A and B are shown apart, each in its own frame.
Chain A
Amino acid sequence: MTASVAEIHYFIGDTLSGRSSGVPARTAAAGSGELLVSQRPKWLEAARTRLQTFTHLPQNWDSYGSQPLSWATARHAAQLLSQLGGFGLPAPRLVPTAQGGVQFEWDVGGIQLELELEPGGGMLAVFDDIHQGESWDRELPPRDLAPISEALSRVVSAGRQVLDV
């Protein structure tokens, strides 16, 4: 599937504005790490802009033959960004992957979480809590952040503690 840059921009912008994604004002994640957050974080706009730049990457941008972010993956990534934006998380670092996905990275207060969105919509998560000595990696079904809600909750807490120092 192909789409013009203008179409991609329109879609990402529209998705992140919440008009097409239906992002709720309050987002809940099931499990012990339930999160309820009511407003969009300030980093969302910058993250959106960075995500857009990944669709502009040249062919072979990493010198190993990788392609720019596809329209379909940009759409998934924008939706995931909207989901994540509702959790009260500190700003993630976004990087493109060689397979045409996007990786979201947090490293705050001894909590490290990497969440990779694959081109097909699947997700991979790698988590480390240095304080509790907890480490795991797991595969997630598309659009389902519930299996990592506890991890997201710890990133939120660590982010708040850093801000309080």
Chain B
Amino acid sequence: MLDVKCWTSRVTQGDHPHEVPDNAKLWRRVSPIHVASDGLGPSSAAFAGHSDDGKTSVCVAEIAGTPDEMMEGWDGHWLVQFTVGDARSAGFGIEITAGEYEGHANLVWGGTRSARKRAQQKLAEACRRHGWIIRREDHG
């Protein structure tokens, strides 16, 4: 079990990003339209940043509740899992946020747009290794 309290209580906006352990698991909902054609993983497009700030929303699994809670209100969406280490090795930073809901975090990017696209591919590959947390029957 992660010592979540030690970093969630103080870490905001990337002040102490390395205090988030590499083995912390992250979840992200995936629209069925972003499930890869073979159904085995998400498209890299599933990890694009928000149009406002370029940040990619994720949830820290250990403090986000259950997968079903994470998916409440989003029938038909899928749920993927990867680790903080996966995100860091792809080149993303992570910032724990205080808003929205418990366990919410953002993946942040500081490089070029095309390099980010490559990083999104690496996240998609990591999700294939970890497998789906929630898998639906149909995808787009």
Contacts and interface: CB of A to CB of B under 8 A. Distances in A.
B136 to A, nearest CB: 14
Contacts of A143: none
Contacts of B34: 62, 95
Contacts of A100: 51
Contacts of B46: 62
Contacts of B49: 98-99
Interface stretch (B4-12, B17-25, B114-122): B114-122
Contact of A97 (B36, B45, B112, B118): B45
B76 to A, nearest CB: 10
Contacts of A2: none
Interface in B104-132: 112-115, 117-118, 121
Interface in B23-72: 29, 31, 33-34, 36-37, 43-46, 48-52, 57
A50 B21 CA distance: 41
A98 B54 CA distance: 10
B57 A126 contact: no
A100 B45 CA distance: 11
A133 interface: no
A99 B46 CA distance: 11
Given A105-B43, A126-B121, A66 B114 contact: no
A65 B52 CA distance: 10
Interface in A79-127: 93, 95-100, 103, 105, 107, 114, 116, 118, 124-126
Given A124-B114, A125-B114, A137-B114, A93 B37 contact: yes
Interface string A118-161: 10000011100000000001110000000000000000000000
Contact of A139 (B33, B43, B113): B113
